[in-house]
Amino acid sequence: MMRPDGGEQSSAIADELLVVRCQLGERDAFDALVRRWAGPVSGYARRVTGDADTAAELTQDIWLRVVRGIGRIEDTSRFRSWLFGIAHRAFADQLRRKYRAAQPLPAEDDVADADAGEAELDVAAVERGLAQLAPVEREILTLFYLEELAIDEVATALSIPTGTVKSRLHRARKQLRRVLELHGDVQ
């Protein structure tokens, strides 16, 4: 599992040191932490929301929650799963607000069909497939495959047992495969 700057062990230690410095009130440390994790956090937000404006709003909410909560992290070595736990809760809250407002969901046929003759699976096809999945499936696949969190880190981030992570991953992979097959992106 790789960290934003490439080295797993050194990155984990660097994150841990930045978190401790943040807890001591060093603003530069928080800025460095944001720079290190801006890409993964915004990528997560974009993938789970499927909309650039909503993703930008979610990303801001995530970082605001991080600012407010970073002083309470007891195990600084678990920053990564803590961060994506914050992201998950922010996304869940956003969904609750959206459904409470009873806004209509976008039509599934808004996603462009891929050329049925293509057998090769590409990133664009996966992104289109993810956009058609329900938020729960989209999120679990994003955390595990795209953000490269381990099963136990996903479980921590989502506050669910590891067995539930495994069953959701299994179900989400099947659903994604069905969507991709339906649009001819995979055979």
Angstrom distance (rounded) from CA 104 to CA 156: 32
For residue range 121-138, what is the model confidence (pLDDT) as tens digits? 567 788 888 888 998 899
The CATH number of residue 2's host domain is 1.10.1740.10
Same domain, yes or no: 60 and 7? yes
Same domain, yes or no: 100 and 35? yes
For residue range 63-111, what is the model confidence (pLDDT) as tens digits? 999 999 999 999 999 999 999 999 999 999 988 887 766 444 444 444 3
Same domain, yes or no: 47 and 92? yes
Residue 182 has pLDDT above 90, yes or no: no
Over residues 51-70, the mean pLDDT reads 95
In the chain, the percentage of residues whose pLDDT exceeds 90 is 59
Comparing C-alpha atoms, which of 48, 69, 68 is closest to residue 58? 48
User: What does the H/E/C string look like for 48-97?
Assistant: HHCCHHHHHHHHHHHHHHHHHHHHHCCCHHHHHHHHHHHHHHHHHHHHHH
Same domain, yes or no: 97 and 120? no
The number of distinct structural domains making up the chain is 2
pTM (2 d.p.): 0.67
Angstrom distance (rounded) from CA 108 to CA 15: 39
Same domain, yes or no: 97 and 119? no
Residue 37 has pLDDT above 80, yes or no: yes
Residue 166 belongs to what domain range? 113-187
